Structure 1
Amino acid sequence: MTAVIMAGGKGTRISSVASDIPKPMIQICGKPVLEHQIDCLRQQGLTDIILVVGYLGRVIEDYFKDGKQFGVTIRYYRETEPLGTAGALYYLKDSLTDDFLLLNGDIIFDVDFQRLIRYHKEKDGIATIFTHPNNHPYDSAIIVTDSESRIVKWLHKEEPRTNYKNRVNSGIHLFSPKIFDCFSKPGKMDLDREILKPLIATRQLFAYDSPEYVRDMGTPERYVSVCSDFKRGLIQAKNLHNKQKAFFLDRDGTLNVEDGFVTSPEQIRLIDGVGQAVKRINESGYLAIVITNQPVIARGECSHQDLRRIHNKLETLLGREGAYLDDIYYCPHHPDKGFPGERVEYKINCDCRKPKPGLILKAGRDYNIDLTASYMVGNGIADIQAGQSAGCQVAKIGLPEQSLPNVMAFSGLQECVKAILG
């Protein structure tokens, strides 16, 4: 598979870090961003690379040459005039007759590309974009998907949005050659607005959601953060090929103020300090995953769509504090019958309702999590029992109703996270 890297960026916002080299040549711990990208590709057998160069492109060509010394084969497309984020692809279509990767040249990443490729082939769409949560969704374009991970909305940051799931485009894409049907003529083109967003109507645009490390270093502040993460080994550790660690978090009474059965977004209010606690989890490299029982579905008091809006409110509030959730797992079942409007199909004795560990075990499989190195944190006995059954370490929020062996107890999530992470 060929990987095309758009390496023609000038880097206006990060000029205070380096103004005399192309943006992809800015160094992270002694090595250009572009070289970090090529290393990640090579390690996974992706050695056929096309670099699209423009501003000071000769610097890139002189450094990488034909790629042989880096264990890859590199070809170049030279933009004689700026062609935007997609225009150069028109001139490469004869070379890209199979599925191919398209990567932004100003991002640092370490991801399991084979998982992405398998997913793309299973969906059999025209395009798959790698999405993830980030710590600044309020100034990012938001990607909205349906239950099949098909993209149904693409909300640019200038477009109105209220509550939303924190998922943004990372700058990693996987395309079928059918993508070239979207190019009517040569010239400057915007990938997101002119190529991808119109694809929504075809129902052939999918999102591959992953918590792996993908960050742009387009501002001095983000550059410093990326350098710090690299030194801590966080970038490589987040590759899903490696075992992950997680904080599994109960929802009501742990993240948001307990307000009976939550059936509307208006009931969601973060507990004081929760935003900072989740942000600390994000920065540590642990995954932040919600595990919650939601019997309101079985009781007929809330639909799956309603619950999605509730969780969108939760993610929006966390995003405003620079924090995010990597995933939310919920159990819609409730074994007891006799509620007006109840949904009979959910009135079962399932394996996912806490205190059973089904949801934790599923998350462990989905994200290659070492459960013994992970924590289940909640305010109820069912949370503790589920965590223990899954093999996790456990922590109780709030005063315990009884003495619980091998259970850490804290007044709130912020104290809990601070104690565990140090």
Structure 2
Amino acid sequence: MKFNSYIFCLTIQRNGYNTKLVRQSNKVWKGLSMRTGDNGYIKELNYKLILDTIRTKGAISRADLARVTGLTRSTCSVTCERMIKQGVIIETGKVDSTGGRPPILLQINNRAGAVLGLKMMDDQILGAAIDLGGNIIQQHSLAMERDLPSEPYLQRFEEFISSILDIQRKDYPFIPILGMGIGLGGRISSEGVLLDSSVLGWSMVPLRARLEKRFNLPVHIENDVNTFAIGEKFFGAGKEYDTFLCLSVGEGTGLGIIINGMLYDGSHHGAGEIGHTRITFDPQAPRCTCGKQGCLEVFTSDRALVEAYHANTGTTVTIDSLIALATAGDETALKVFARAGMYLGTALSTLVNLFDPQAIIIGGERTNAATFFLPELQKHLEENCVYDLAKEVTLTVLQPSNDDWIRGVAALAIREFFSTNTLWRE
């Protein structure tokens, strides 16, 4: 039995299935051993493998599907015909052939379904219905009072979701909602419980259970910076990479980690809290919102930037006016951003030494000031990496956009539709 379990898991890995199956082979085998010879289950696995391959490869022929997945042409053809009848995929054209009948290409029918992408913040809620191709169908926002307790906040949140669902059913009746993805700042358990959030000031809130009961839809909840990383892997700049880091800069400083195509969030769902990594033990260092002194975030967040300017000039500014000052050539403003870049680059160099990523993707509101902090970031990243690793890392800076974050949140639910395994986490 152990031998069979080992071979089965290797076959799954070869065909591109989620590596979680390999890493938990004993656990998985216990669940599968009773299903040996279950043709329905094997068909389900093949279905999801083919579907995810079409999603990742784009327009593809049946013959190429068989080659990429390792399945027989007969299996691919029968499964694809089933998908076409269901409206999940469509035939999109033909390609040139050196002989014989030109092969017909297949692609995902993006409007076969949609998901809700929702981002919960202290001062507002963002929400959108997004189709399977990541295209926004409708988008809305709701201003919120700061520091609300969980119950009044969630009551308004549920009303907000209901309004989006009502609009979707009225205006797009033939695009069913398949589920919802939710991103928020904090530590989220694999059961969808908000363990703690310094952003919202809540702890131990069973969000998934409450919302699934209320809306009778699958609900997927994740830390917002992790959803940023998932979205870049699914729809954005991370599609071509297996291992990369997503740095978020703005009100806070956060990190999403993708390793071998999988989100890594740690054993206790706390990986990526780079903003609360201490980078100085100077007793005069500023105190962080987490209660410690000398964290990265006290030198790189919006609050840190405006406080640093005030400390050097005595002038009170907002983050927007600070950017305007830097744009106008204000020497102190430029030094404030340069110092933030130095700290960010130094912190990232440690991560490059640890993870050796293919790329670092920088997003968040404050990429609109990248011109002022990026040179120092790159300089200190390269200076502090071993073996010149930084020279092999592609650095991508995104334009600030809530759309990228909403697509990332939606990707939680979209991924479930396509996934060969219900576990997205590594």
Q: TM-score range by the shorter chain?
A: under 0.3
Comparing both structures, which one devotes a greater share of its residues to helix? 2
The TM-score, its normalising length taken from structure 1, stands at 0.26
The TM-score, its normalising length taken from structure 2, stands at 0.26
